[in-house]
C-alpha cells in the first residue's frame, strides 16, 4: 500500500508500507526519497506494550490521533530534503527553526481552544503548560528540571523524541540539530501569548547523550501586544 | 437564528454562515397607487423608509426593488438607470410594486462596525471600576444578544444570536476550535487575512 504524505513546506514523500497489522503499526517500511539517503530506517518488530496500550485507549478519545511513525517518517523526509537543498548544515538548522516557528504561531490557537487554559503569569506556570502541550501533541511527558536561580530558565528532558526514532546521523551531518523544529515551535507559540522566549537544544540522544534536553529561557513580556482587557 | 462575526487583532472582518441559512430575512412586497403614502429618504448609500409604517413595512427598511428590478443606492438598475425618487414622483408609472427589507451590511460597513467594536471593547475594560476586567463578554439588546470571545492571542469572535438562546458561549468556544482546526491548519492561509470559507455541503 502506498500513501502520499504532504507537509506544510510542500515536501512530499512516498511511504511504502509492506505489511500492516490490526493495531495500525508498521511492521516494516521503507521511505523512498529520491537522491542520497541520509537517514536509515531500522526495522522495528516490537513496540513496548505500554505505548501500544496508551495509543489504543487514546485513539477512542480522539479520532484525530494518527500513528506517530507516519509523523516520524514524514519529518525524516522533510529533514533529508532540507539537507539536500541547503549547502550547509547550519542553514538547515536555521530553516528547521523557522518552519517550527511558523507551526508554533498557529498551533498555539489549537492548544488554547482545546485546553481552555488561562494566561500564565510566571515561568513555572508556563513550563507546566508547555509540558502539557507535549503530552497533547507528541504523547510525551518531558521532565522539567534545571531551573535557573531567577526562575526564568528551565530544561525539558525527553527520554526519546518521536522524531528521532529510526534515525542515525551520518558523519557528514554531525552538527545537524535534527529536532530543531521543537525550539521553533516553542518560540512561536509563546510569542503569540505575548511571551518572548529563547529556546535551544543542548543535549541530543542522536549525538550520543543519554537524554534529549530542550532549554527554554524567558526574555521579556511583549507588553504592546497584550490584548485589551488583559493589562 | 444567529450570525457569526470574526475579528482578528489587526484586521476587522467578518464571515457569515454559508448561504446565511440561519439569518431570517424579512422582506415585504407591496403595490402602491399614486401618490405613494410612504416617505423615502436617501442616506448612507441606501434608499430607505423615513416615515410611514403599514402592512409590514417599517421605518428604516431599505427599498430593495421596484417592479421586480433591483435598486442600487438611489438608482433602479434598468437600462436608463432611473432615479428612484424621480420614477416614483411620476403618476404615469403607477401602480408600482416595491419590495422593502433590511439591507445587509456591505463589507466596508462591516469593517467599520468591527473597528468601532474593537475600540468599545478596549474602552469597556478601561472604564471598569475593578482591576483586571475583561472587555465586553456579551451585550444584550431587545432583539439580539452578542457574545464575544477574546482569545489569549487577541483574536475576537462575535456571535450574534437570539436573546432567548442559551449556551451560546459554548458555541463560540466550539467555533474557536473549528477556526484553529480548519483555518489555521490550512497551509495556504496566511495569518490575519480574510477567511474564505468553502464548506463542503
Taking only the tens place, the pLDDT of each residue in A46-69 is 333 334 444 444 434 566 678 888
Share in percent of chain B as helix, strand, coil (round to 5): 25, 30, 45
pLDDT for position B5 = 61
pLDDT for position A231 = 62
Taking only Cα atoms into account, the Rg of chain A, rounded to an integer number of angstroms, comes to 18
Q: Which residues contact B167 (CB under 8 A, 6 or more apart)?
A: none
How does residue B8 score in pLDDT terms, banded at 50, 70 and 90? low
Q: Which of A54-58, A120-124, A216-220, B61-65 has the lowest mean pLDDT?
A: A54-58
pLDDT 10s digits, B120-149: 888 888 888 888 888 888 899 988 888 888
* Mean confidence (pLDDT) of chain A: 76
Q: Which of A12-21, A151-160, B181-190 has the lowest mean pLDDT?
A: A12-21
Q: Measured between CA atoms, how close is B187 to chain A, in angstroms? A: 6
Q: Which of A13-27, A51-65, B186-200 has the lowest mean pLDDT?
A: A13-27
Whether residue A18 is predicted with pLDDT greater than 50 in this model: the reply is no
Cα A22 from Cα A28, distance rounded (Å): 14
Q: What's the mean pLDDT in A9-28?
A: 36
Report CA A56 to chain centroid distance, whole Å. Answer: 21
The β-bridge relationship of strands A212-221 and A2-6 is unpaired
pLDDT 10s digits, B107-122: 777 777 778 888 888 8
pLDDT for position B157 = 85
Whether residue A33 is predicted with pLDDT greater than 60 in this model: the reply is no
Residue among A6, A79, A91 nearest A39 (CA): A79
Evaluated on CA atoms A159, A162, A165, A167, the torsion sign reads: negative
Report which secondary-structure segment, H or E, holds A216. strand A212-221
pLDDT for position B200 = 53
pLDDT for position B24 = 57
Residue A204 contacts residue A160 (beta carbons within 8 Å) = no
Where in chain B does DSSP place strands (E)? 2-7, 12-13, 27-32, 39-43, 46-51, 62-66, 69-72, 75-76, 96-101, 138-140, 145-150, 156-161
Cα B115 from Cα B96, distance rounded (Å): 40
Better-predicted residue by pLDDT, B20 or A164: A164
Grid coordinates belonging to B99: 419590495
Interface-testing mutation among A112, A227, A230, with chain B (most B C-beta atoms within 10 A): A227
pLDDT for position A133 = 93
Residues of A in contact with B181 (CB under 8 A): 110
Interface-testing mutation among B123, B152, B189, with chain A (most A C-beta atoms within 10 A): B152
Q: Which of A62-66, B87-91, B94-98 has the lowest mean pLDDT?
A: A62-66
Q: Measured between CA atoms, how close is A76 to chain B, in angstroms? A: 19
pLDDT for position B46 = 86
* Mean confidence (pLDDT) of chain B: 79
Cα A123 from Cα A196, distance rounded (Å): 11
How does residue B20 score in pLDDT terms, banded at 50, 70 and 90? very low
Q: Which residues contact A60 (CB under 8 A, 6 or more apart)?
A: none
B127 to chain A: nearest residue by CA? A229
User: In B, what residues contact A, Cβ < 8 A?
Assistant: 9, 118, 121-122, 124-125, 132-135, 150-155, 173, 176-177, 179-181, 184-185, 187, 191
Residues of B in contact with A107 (CB under 8 A): 184
Count the Cβ atoms, other than its own, within 10 Å of residue B85: 12
Helix ranges restricted to H, chain B: 84-89, 107-127, 168-178
Evaluated on CA atoms A190, A191, A194, A196, the torsion sign reads: positive
In 3-state terms, what secondary structure has residue B22?
A: coil
Q: What's the mean pLDDT in B146-159?
A: 86
A207: left (phi over 0), alpha (psi -120 to 50) or beta: alpha
Do residue A229 and residue B155 have CB atoms under 8 angstroms apart? no
- Between A10, A106, A119, which is nearest B152 by CB? A119
Do residue A228 and residue B155 have CB atoms under 8 angstroms apart? no
Amino acid at each position: 500500500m502506498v500513501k502520499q504524505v504532504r507537509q506544510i513546506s510542500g515536501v512530499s514523500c512516498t511511504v511504502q508500507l509492506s505489511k500492516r497489522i490490526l493495531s495500525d503499526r508498521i511492521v516494516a517500511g521503507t521511505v523512498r526519497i529520491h537522491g542520497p539517503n541520509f537517514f536509515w530506517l531500522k526495522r522495528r518488530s516490537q513496540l513496548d506494550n505500554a505505548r501500544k496500550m496508551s495509543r489504543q485507549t487514546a485513539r477512542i478519545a480522539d479520532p484525530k490521533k494518527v500513528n506517530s511513525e507516519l509523523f516520524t517518517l514524514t519529518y525524516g523526509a522533510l529533514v533529508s530534503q532540507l539537507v539536500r537543498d541547503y549547502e550547509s548544515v547550519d542553514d538547515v538548522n536555521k530553516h528547521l527553526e523557522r518552519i517550527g516557528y511558523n507551526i508554533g504561531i498557529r498551533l498555539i490557537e489549537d492548544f488554547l481552544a482545546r485546553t481552555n487554559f488561562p494566561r500564565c503569569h510566571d515561568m513555572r506556570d508556563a513550563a507546566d503548560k508547555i509540558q502539557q502541550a507535549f503530552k497533547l501533541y507528541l504523547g510525551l511527558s518531558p521532565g522539567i528540571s534545571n531551573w535557573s536561580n531567577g526562575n526564568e530558565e528551565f530544561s525539558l528532558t525527553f527520554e526519546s523524541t518521536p522524531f528521532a526514532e529510526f534515525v542515525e546521523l551520518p558523519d557528514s551531518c554531525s552538527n545537524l540539530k535534527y529536532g530543531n523544529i521543537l525550539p521553533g515551535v516553542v518560540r512561536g507559540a509563546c510569542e503569540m501569548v505575548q511571551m518572548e522566549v529563547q529556546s535551544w537544544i543542548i543535549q541530543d540522544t542522536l549525538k550520543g547523550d543519554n537524554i534529549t534536553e530542550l532549554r527554554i529561557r524567558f526574555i521579556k513580556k511583549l507588553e504592546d501586544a497584550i490584548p485589551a482587557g488583559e493589562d | 437564528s444567529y450570525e457569526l462575526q470574526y475579528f482578528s487583532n489587526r484586521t476587522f472582518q467578518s464571515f457569515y454562515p454559508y448561504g446565511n441559512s440561519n439569518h431570517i430575512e424579512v422582506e415585504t412586497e407591496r403595490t402602491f397607487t399614486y401618490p405613494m403614502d410612504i416617505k423615502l429618504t436617501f442616506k448612507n448609500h441606501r434608499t430607505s423608509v423615513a416615515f410611514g409604517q403599514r402592512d409590514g413595512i417599517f421605518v428604516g427598511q431599505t427599498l430593495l426593488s421596484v417592479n421586480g428590478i433591483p435598486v442600487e443606492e438611489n438608482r433602479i438598475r434598468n437600462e436608463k438607470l432611473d432615479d428612484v425618487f424621480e420614477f416614483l414622483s411620476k403618476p404615469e408609472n403607477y401602480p408600482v410594486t416595491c419590495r422593502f427589507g433590511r439591507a445587509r451590511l456591505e463589507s466596508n460597513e462591516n469593517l467599520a462596525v468591527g473597528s468601532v467594536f474593537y475600540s468599545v471593547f478596549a474602552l469597556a475594560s478601561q472604564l471598569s471600576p475593578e482591576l483586571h476586567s475583561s472587555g465586553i463578554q456579551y451585550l444584550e439588546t431587545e432583539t439580539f444578544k452578542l457574545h464575544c470571545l477574546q482569545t489569549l492571542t487577541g483574536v475576537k469572535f462575535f456571535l450574534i444570536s437570539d436573546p432567548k438562546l442559551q449556551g451560546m458561549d459554548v458555541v463560540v468556544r466550539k467555533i474557536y476550535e473549528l477556526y484553529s482546526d480548519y483555518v489555521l491548519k490550512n497551509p495556504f492561509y496566511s495569518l490575519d487575512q480574510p477567511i474564505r470559507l468553502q464548506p463542503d455541503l
